[in-house]
Amino acid sequence: MSFTHPLSVVVRPALLAPLLLALLALGGCREATPVNTTRLQAFGESLDLTLVGVAPEQARRARAELAEDLTFRTRAWNPWTAGALADLNRRLATGAPVTAPPSVLPLLRTGQRLAAQSEGLYNPALGGLITLWGFDRVPPRAAPPTQRQLETLLNSAPRIDQIELDGIEIRAAAPGTQLDFDRLAPALAVDLAIARLHELGIVNALIQRDGDWRASGDRGGQPWRVPILRAGGSGVLAIVALRRDEALGTVADHQRDFIHQGRIYHDVLDPRSGRPVRATRAVTVLLPDLASATVAARALFVAGPEHWLEVAQRMGVTEALLIDRSGEVHVTQALWSRLERIDPGARIHRVNPITTEAATIAP
């Protein structure tokens, strides 16, 4: 998970922040519309918040409220240190029914819903797997777990659908259940931050964190234009203009990793094998909210190049892009039609998620 236990995280906000500023300059907005950009801290990472057309005092109040909310959720949703979710994990281990803290319920319900859509490719009940790999600490464990350790954990196979939630009473049917909502937690927090801005009367806003973007409204009459990064995060693959309420979620193998005996191990783990997914480098998904986009991106990442379109259909995703292990880019026709300034060196396969037909576009 990606917050107060910052993991062996390779986070690159220093790269994305200049990209954000450059993209804002490309927006074609020449009128004197106030633009307020600030950086907040949450979940062990930086979040860049941009507000447009907001008076200074209103912007100050919004920043203060969002900072407070994000600090609260960072603590409450951390599964390993002191906080509501960590306490719930300790009590779930007893197997007895417990009362779920109200602060955790939105995360739990969202996680259950999205995990069901992914048909198990996203399983936040496998927090023990994160611990086994050492991604719950800094520095991470010096070596990957053994096959026997993985088999022992997976044989118990805790699943999020085995969590019984009745009102605010919760019970874990499987022993060893430990909840870790991974990238969903900060993504949902960003969605809730946008909702709070709407309550404060702020419509035009953009939040960016570690390759994810959540847009609301526009930038002075122009759409928010954001980057999709190349594999490895070293540059821009393409630009896409986000609609008035839309999110771009990306899961990539370079975001959190460690090296052992010359081999890189990343934290996108296949819940079926317990090991890092090797066939995929990155997945980007566009959906109306960041929580759904992030979980869908993770599920498509795990599904890999052979099955990602089937999973996209099941999860209602039509706009998605996958970069495979060889660096080739697979993009759905619906997203292809929205891409701008595509890297001329990329080898791209356009695919239709319904028919799985493909057309190759050479550099």
Tens of pLDDT, residues 250-295? 999 988 888 888 888 888 999 999 999 999 999 999 999 999 999 9
Rounded Cα gap, residues 139 and 152, in angstroms: 24
Report helix, strand and coil shares of the chain as percent, to nearest 5: 35, 30, 40
Specify the pLDDT at position 278.
Answer: 95
Q: Residue 345: exposed, middle, or buried by beta-carbon count in 10 A (0-12, 13-18, 19+)?
A: exposed
- Model confidence at 249: pLDDT above 90: yes
Q: What is the pTM of this model?
A: 0.88
Specify the pLDDT at position 254.
Answer: 83
Q: For residue 173, report the phi and psi dihedrals to the nearest 5 degrees.
A: -75, -30
- Model confidence at 221: pLDDT above 70: yes
pLDDT digits 0-9 by tens, 138-164: 766 778 999 999 999 888 878 888 888
Specify the pLDDT at position 359.
Answer: 55
| CA distance readout (Å), 320 to 187, 234, 309, 360 | 17, 20, 9, 16
- Average of per-residue pLDDT across 328-350: 91
Specify the pLDDT at position 358.
Answer: 55
pLDDT digits 0-9 by tens, 188-214: 999 999 999 999 999 999 999 988 999
Specify the pLDDT at position 362.
Answer: 42
| Percent with pLDDT over 90 in the chain | 62
- Model confidence at 1: pLDDT above 50: no
- Model confidence at 23: pLDDT above 90: no
Q: For residue 140, report the phi and psi dihedrals to the nearest 5 degrees.
A: -70, 170
Provide the pLDDT confidence category of residue 357 given band limits of 50, 70 and 90: low
Q: Are 135 and 128 in contact (CB under 8 A)?
A: no
Provide the pLDDT confidence category of residue 97 given band limits of 50, 70 and 90: confident
The length of the chain in residues reads 363
Query: What's the half-sphere exposure (Cβ side, CA atoms, 13 Å) at 12?
Result: 17
Q: For residue 295, report the phi and psi dihedrals to the nearest 5 degrees.
A: -65, -40
Rounded Cα gap, residues 149 and 159, in angstroms: 18
- Average of per-residue pLDDT across 345-359: 73
- Model confidence at 26: pLDDT above 60: no
Rounded Cα gap, residues 126 and 124, in angstroms: 5
Provide the pLDDT confidence category of residue 121 given band limits of 50, 70 and 90: very high
Query: Considering the chain, what is the average pLDDT of its residues?
Result: 87
Specify the pLDDT at position 354.
Answer: 60
Rounded Cα gap, residues 114 and 93, in angstroms: 23
Query: What's the half-sphere exposure (Cβ side, CA atoms, 13 Å) at 149?
Result: 12
Helices (H) and strands (E) in the chain, counts: 9, 18
pLDDT digits 0-9 by tens, 33-87: 789 999 999 998 999 999 999 999 999 999 999 999 999 999 999 998 889 999 9
Q: Residue 316: exposed, middle, or buried by beta-carbon count in 10 A (0-12, 13-18, 19+)?
A: exposed
* Tokens linked to 104: 């955790």
